[in-house]
């Protein structure tokens, strides 16, 4: 009978030992990730239920306070058991975005892909310069690295639910966000 090998996370040690060489290789459009054959398997994540009503109450309060963007709020959910990835699972993260009527989010991009479900409201998203109209029940996709923003063009609040692959990218050490200048 074969023995199951226990894998250990050696990324920090590996990167520390080769940091000077990595700096010589990396550039604006090139990053090095040390092969992860020695990473530890993820822990088991428990099933969850996210309660919608208290979530919407929180979103409304955050949007009203406008600490990040006036009239916009975004919250994400994670399981502490995922450790570094900060996802609901080691590979995926989910969250809600709230947009008041007549409000747009700041254009930005990230190397994670996002799949959105429009829970409530109507509006449009500008994705790499193209306009995509959406309404309640619609699903739309924002590809990785696409510059995008979301606008609520309706008369009521817009609530978007999204799932991303940010956990996977975070585990690989390559998750990036950029705001359009």
Rg of the chain in Å (alpha carbons): 19
Mean pLDDT, range 31-57, rounded to an integer:
73
The domain spans of the chain are: 1-41, 52-179
Residue 33 above 80 pLDDT? no
pLDDT of residue 69: 85
pLDDT of residue 13: 63
85-99: pLDDT as tens digits: 678 888 888 999 999
pLDDT of residue 14: 59
Mean pLDDT, range 147-152, rounded to an integer:
96
- 40 in Cβ contact with 7 (< 8 Å): yes
The β-bridge partners of 75 are: 96
52-179, CATH topology level: Jelly Rolls (2.60.120)
- Helix (H) or strand (E) run with residue 18 in it: helix 11-25
pLDDT of residue 37: 45
Least reliable range by pLDDT among 23-37, 53-67, 80-94: 23-37
The β-bridge partners of 117 are: 139, 161
| Rounded alpha-carbon distances, angstroms, from residue 124 to 75, 101, 107 | 20, 12, 13
Residue closest to 36 by CA, chosen among 177, 176, 164, 170? 170
| pLDDT above 90 as % of the chain | 48
Residue 39 above 60 pLDDT? no
- Helix (H) or strand (E) run with residue 116 in it: strand 114-120
Please, which residues have CB within 8 angstroms of residue 171's CB and are 6 or more apart in sequence? 39, 84, 85, 90, 91
DSSP symbol at 60: H
Stronger pLDDT, 70 or 115, i.e. the higher one: 115
């Amino acid at each position: 009978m074969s023995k199951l090998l226990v894998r250990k996370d050696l990324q920090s040690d590996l990167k520390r030992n080769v940091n000077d060489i990595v700096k010589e290789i990396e550039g604006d459009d090139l990053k090095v990730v040390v092969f992860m054959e020695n990473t530890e398997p993820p822990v088991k994540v428990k099933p969850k239920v996210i309660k919608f009503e208290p979530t919407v109450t929180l979103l409304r309060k955050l949007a009203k306070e406008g600490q990040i963007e006036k009239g916009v709020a975004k919250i994400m959910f994670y399981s502490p058991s995922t450790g570094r990835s900060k996802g609901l699972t080691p590979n995926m993260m989910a969250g809600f975005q709230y947009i008041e009527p007549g409000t747009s989010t700041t254009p930005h991009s990230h190397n994670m892909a996002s799949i959105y479900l429009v829970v409530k409201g109507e509006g449009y998203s500008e994705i790499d310069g193209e306009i995509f109209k959406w309404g309640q029940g619609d699903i739309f996709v924002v590809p990785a690295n696409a510059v995008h923003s979301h606008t609520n063009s309706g008369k009521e609040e817009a609530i978007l639910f999204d799932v991303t692959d940010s956990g996977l990218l975070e585990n690989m050490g390559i998750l990036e966000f950029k705001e359009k200048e």
